[in-house]
Amino acid sequence: MAEDRPQIYLLTPPSFDPAVFPAVLARVLAAQDVACIRLALATKDEDAVMRAADAVRVVAHDHDVALVIENHIHLVERHGLDGVHLTDGARSVRAARKELGQDAIVGAFCGASRHDGMNAGEAGADYVCFGPVGETGLGAGPRAERDLFAWWSEMIEVPVVAEGALSETLVQGLAPVTDFFAIGEEIWRDEDPAAALGRLIAAMG
């Protein structure tokens, strides 16, 4: 694996069966190097989120992979997770850092806003995530263009993550200017998620 190649930040599906998905996840982690996993569930049902967190944590930690949860700061310590991913830009970073301490991972999704990214970094975020980088029909705001990643990588020390509707072509183009690729739906729709992730990794060059 190339030393300067971006690392993989794996997103869970927005919904999954806690009795089935952990085995699928384990196969992916056994086949490919993954730096971190984000529990990124669509549901607001806290009981469902807690069951999912426990199921994924076992697999993640068995493979020495960090696990963060999207937005649910209060579940991090209770469920033995490694940190939180915040979806509201820089707004909650200081509060999350204060609650979770210096050792926890605190990341922030900042859309395509350089300003939000800089504020998140100054507030103590461990990484800043920009996206979507690809075409998505979900009304997810303006695309984060390559120029943003190139500028960030040159000017800012905080690691940057590229996320959203990634393709092999986009991965190839962004690999020189991002630290991580956040990959989720791109592989879970495939019959063989581990192989699908392998193709995206190979596209980094």
Burial annotation 159-194 (CB, 10 A radius, 16+ → b, else e): bbbbbbbbeeebbebbbebbbbbbbbebbbeeeebb
Q: What is the pLDDT of residue 138?
A: 58
Tokens of 107: 């990341």
Is the confidence at residue 203, as pLDDT, over 80? yes
Give residue-wise pLDDT tens across range 120-163.
999 999 999 999 999 876 556 789 999 999 999 999 999 999 99
What are the boundaries of each domain within the chain? 7-202
Whole-model pTM above 0.75? yes
Give residue-wise pLDDT tens across range 55-86.
999 999 999 999 999 999 999 999 999 999 99
Q: Are 52 and 88 in contact (CB under 8 A)?
A: no
E-state strands within the chain: 7-11, 36-39, 66-70, 83-86, 105-109, 127-130, 160-163, 180-183
Q: Are 52 and 75 in contact (CB under 8 A)?
A: no
Between the alpha carbon of residue 153 and those of residues 75, 85, 86, 148, the distances in Å are 32, 20, 21, 9
Amino acid at the residue 74: H
d(CA 150, CA 148): 5
Amino acid at the residue 98: K
Is the confidence at residue 1, as pLDDT, over 60? no
Is the confidence at residue 20, as pLDDT, over 80? yes
Architecture of domain 7-202: Alpha-Beta Barrel (3.20)
Give residue-wise pLDDT tens across range 188-197.
999 999 999 9
- The mean pLDDT of the chain is 95
Tokens of 109: 């999704």
